[in-house]
Chains A and B, each alone.
Chain A
Amino acid sequence: MAEAKEVTAAQVVTLKPAKGWLGIDLKELWHYRELIYFLTWRDIKVRYKQAALGITWAILQPVLTTAITSIVFGYLLKVDSGSLPYPVFTLAALLPWHLFQLSLQKSSISLVGNANLITKIYFPRVIIPLSSVLAVLVDFGISVILLFIAMAIYKIPLTLTVLWLLPLTLLTVIAALAVGLWLSALNVQYRDVQQIVPFLLQIWMYATPIVYPITIIPEGTIRYIYSLNPMVGVVQGFRWALFGGAPPDMTLLVSTAAVIVLLVSGLFFFRRMEKTFADVV
């Protein structure tokens, strides 16, 4: 057997009552990067195990939702989608929305779902909602290919602005994580959160210009208040990056600011609640 290794000062762990509001420890998070990777990988692997259609679901879900909304809103209600065919118009918004929705659903129940880990092993708890959000990105990546296929079918050309999808996707993930931090920590204490999330998402979806164009929201103050919903900026950004037209300017700025506020407050709230997770969950 190997002899005991030299113990460096960095490995000294201090046990003491946690006090006050703690910031996030990025260095520690980096140290645990492999755990983030493995938990993400586990979530991806497990999601479609024993499903006959497997990962095809990542494509079927947006296809089906697009079909339903196109029939109800595009064909029956004749919602104005400007110069774009309605299915492409709504699919471009449904993709980031699905990413957000699924991430929020998964992350809000993630801590309770991993109670056995939390009560037995130490690691920064933020890894759990983080990895459940990251796992959803794989589905998203697959569904983006679908979008490009749809655009080819409708003969809509891609331009270089398509590269904006990367920061916009990042913004979506951060928005989902920010809300997920709040909800997952609350769910440890109050299981009501699980019941609320589906309604919250339903309301949220109608508060986002997915099935309708943003132009029906009056410009000025009301539009800015509306843009406090982070997904407004994201969806507008997606449409602009893919189809051109007016850049989302202020909408996107307001939405980004809202995400930052949600994320910072979410991190602090999460860190504050973290100490009691193992005792309460």
Chain B
Amino acid sequence: MEKDTSIIVNGIGKRYKIGAFQERQDTLRDLIVNQASRVGSWFKGGAPNRRYENIWALRDVSFEVKQGQALGIIGRNGAGKSTLLKILSRVTDPTEGYGELRGRVGSLLEVGTGFHPELTGRENIFLNGAILGMQKKEIAARFDEIVAFSEVDKFIDTPVKRYSSGMYLRLAFAVAAHLEPEILVVDEVLAVGDADFQRKCLGKMGDVANSGRTVLFVSHNMSAILRLTQESIVLDKGRVLMRAPSAEAVDFYLNRGLSKMGERFWEDDEIPPSSSPFKPVAIRIVDKVGQVSDSVRAVDPITIEIEYELSEGITGLRVGYYLFTTRGEAVFTSFDTDSDELFREYTYRPQGRYTSRCVIPALTLNEGRFVLGINASSYRIKRYFQDDQALSFSVDASGAPGTHWPEPRPGAVRPALDWTIEERGKA
């Protein structure tokens, strides 16, 4: 390995056995029954029945990262990003391949790991720091800095179970952010806290990336990827599709990974088991004449249809979407039970097949490309399913207010607003 190389990954693959552990040999009884039936089938002369199949979550992944480089990793849910990060942070071993990391690896795989609700903020800082690999004296030296960054100083001696979720996450991120490893592995931490705090987190990440440390950064936030990394790799179905400067990789991902047909169907392997009983089927953009379309006009109403199945009834379910620009800035969020009437009518949604349909009124969006993310959840109870890059579509603004001037207008929306001009005599 050359001196300035920080990470080498060579032909790494990870195979999971689906069935053996998931269809549950999880009790001794199952094990005994299965073993007995296997022995039974030997006697009958048949091959032992293996009731599991192998799934490669990652296959043939190779790349290098130079010291001080920040590399983005993008891919949709189930592409193998988390598995890759788990292997790099040594949480799990690869099934095949080889890799080398130079220097202390700090991983931010979900902040707050190891926080104990009964312990105070102060106690958790030390505990969490030790779990993340810091020495006690290092933590003590940075203690004040961590507390200041987290903005929870008044409650530092209160058990964290009494914290609001925002405070909890801020403290957790603050500890993790003050870890100073040579290689930092980051996954989705930016979904933390309010906009101000997110900006602070991004700033901190930028500092780390600019201080000669190697950063591996996984995020659904394309603008964060573009800001913090020079290069990115695109993962799909466990393989590396491309490695390119981040701007190029993001464009490739947004345009290829997502259907250009204005419609997206979810394959079974894209739906995590945890989403049950909610099962997403499709999402589509429908234009004014009822055609599924990738490109719609700003002067027409735009219909968004989300099709899904419930294998069991759910109380308090809301299905909706986030609208983002391709740079990852949120435009708005809307759920099917936002209105009082529908909220009351669908307190309980029985088992069955559904389509939730939303119309974005004409003259709302500006021209450009937009990304839809979907979310199905019961508020404060469970998030059944979320896909932040479900579908993308283009809006053509011709005919919208102001288009007689052929100039690009900044902003994601371009509403038709009421202007009046009052003439108040001669100057």
Of A12, A49, A190, A279, which contacts B102 at CB under 8 A?
A12
Let me know if A15 is at the binding interface, CB within 8 A.
yes
Q: Which of A180-196 contact B (CB under 8 A)?
A: 189-192
Q: Tell me if A2 counts as interface (CB < 8 A to partner B).
A: yes
Residue of chain A at shortest CB distance from B101: A13
Select from chain A the residue with minimum beta-carbon distance to B130: A38
8 Å CB interface, A14-60 against B: 14-18, 34-35, 37-39, 41-42, 45-46, 49-50
Chain B min CB distance to A97 (Å): 27
Question: Is B136's beta carbon under 8 Å from chain A?
Answer: yes
Q: Does B244 touch A at the CB level, under 8 Å?
A: no
CB < 8 Å: which of B90, B103, B211 contacts A3? B211
Contacts of A42 in B (CB 8 A): 116, 119, 123, 127
From residue 62 to 94 of chain B, which have CB atoms closer than 8 A to chain A? Answer: 67-68, 86-94
Say whether A275 faces chain B, with CB atoms less than 8 Å apart: yes
Give every chain A residue within 8 A of B87 (Cβ-Cβ).
15
Q: How would residues 80 to 108 of chain A score, 1 for a CB under 8 Å from any chain B CB and 0 otherwise?
A: 00000000000000000000000000000
Does residue B21 face the partner (Cβ distance < 8 Å to A)?
yes
B-side interface size class:
35 or more
Segment 179-238 of B: residues with Cβ below 8 Å from A: 180, 182, 207-208, 210-213
A97 to B187, CA, bound (A): 45
Mask for B126-137, Cβ within 8 A of A = 1, else 0? 110011110110
Within 8 Å of chain A (Cβ to Cβ): is B98? yes
* Per-residue interface assignment for chain B, residues 3 to 16, with 1 indicating a CB less than 8 Å from any chain A CB and 0 otherwise: 00000010010001
CA distance A15 to B88 in the complex (A): 7
Known: A121-B89, A122-B90, A190-B27. A49 touches B107 (CB 8 A): no
Whether the pair A4, B102 counts as a contact (CB closer than 8 A) is: no
Assembled-state Cα–Cα distance A83/B23 (Å): 60
The reply to whether B28 and A190 form a contact with Cβ atoms under 8 Å apart is yes
Partner of A116 from B113, B119, B180 at Cβ < 8 Å: B113
A16 near B90: Cβ-Cβ < 8 Å: no
Question: B225 to chain A: closest CB distance in Å?
Answer: 21
Q: Are B132 and A18 in contact (CB under 8 A)?
A: no
Asked if A216 is at the interface (CB within 8 A of a chain B CB), the reply is no
* Chain A min CB distance to B105 (Å): 7
A120 at the interface (CB under 8 A from B): yes
Complex formed: what's the CA distance from A17 to B98 in Å?
A: 8
- B130, A49: Cβ atoms under 8 Å? no
- Enumerate chain A residues within 8 angstroms of B12, measured Cβ to Cβ: 15
Q: Given the complex, which residues of B lie within 8 Å of A18, measured CB to CB?
A: 93
Q: Map CB proximity to B onto A108-133 as digits: 1 under 8 Å, 0 otherwise.
A: 00000000111111110000000000
Given A3-B212, A11-B102, are A192 and B114 also a contact pair (CB < 8 Å)? no
B93 touches A275 (CB 8 A): yes
Tell me, in angstroms, the Cα distance from A120 to B131 when the chains sit together: 10
Q: Decide yes or no whether B118 CB sits under 8 A from chain A.
A: yes
The answer to whether residues A15 and B90 also contact, given A2-B180, A4-B67 and a CB cut-off of 8 A, is yes
Report the Cα distance A42→B95, complex, angstroms. Answer: 34
| CB neighbours of B109 from chain A (8 A) | 120-121
When distances are taken between beta carbons in the complex, the residues of chain A under 8 Å from B89 are 120-122
Residues of B within 8 A of A35 (CB): 130-131
Q: Is the CB of A4 within 8 A of B211?
A: yes
Does A163 lie at the interface of the complex (its beta carbon under 8 Å from any beta carbon of B)?
A: no
Contacts of B104 in A (CB 8 A): 11
User: 9 closest A-B pairs (Cβ-Cβ)?
Assistant: A1-B211, A15-B99, A122-B90, A4-B212, A38-B130, A13-B101, A278-B92, A120-B113, A49-B118
Chain A positions within 8 Å of B, measured between CB atoms, are: 1-5, 7, 11-18, 34-35, 37-39, 41-42, 45-46, 49-50, 116-123, 189-192, 275, 278-280
What residues make up the interface of B, taking CB atoms closer than 8 Å to A? 1, 9, 12, 16, 21, 26-29, 31, 67-68, 86-105, 107, 109-110, 113-114, 116, 118-119, 123, 126-127, 130-133, 135-136, 159, 180, 182, 207-208, 210-213
27 contacts between A and B (CB under 8 A): A1-B207, A1-B210, A1-B211, A2-B180, A4-B68, A4-B182, A5-B182, A7-B102, A7-B103, A7-B182, A13-B105, A15-B99, A15-B100, A17-B95, A17-B97, A34-B130, A38-B127, A38-B131, A42-B116, A45-B118, A45-B123, A117-B131, A120-B91, A120-B107, A120-B110, A123-B131, A192-B28
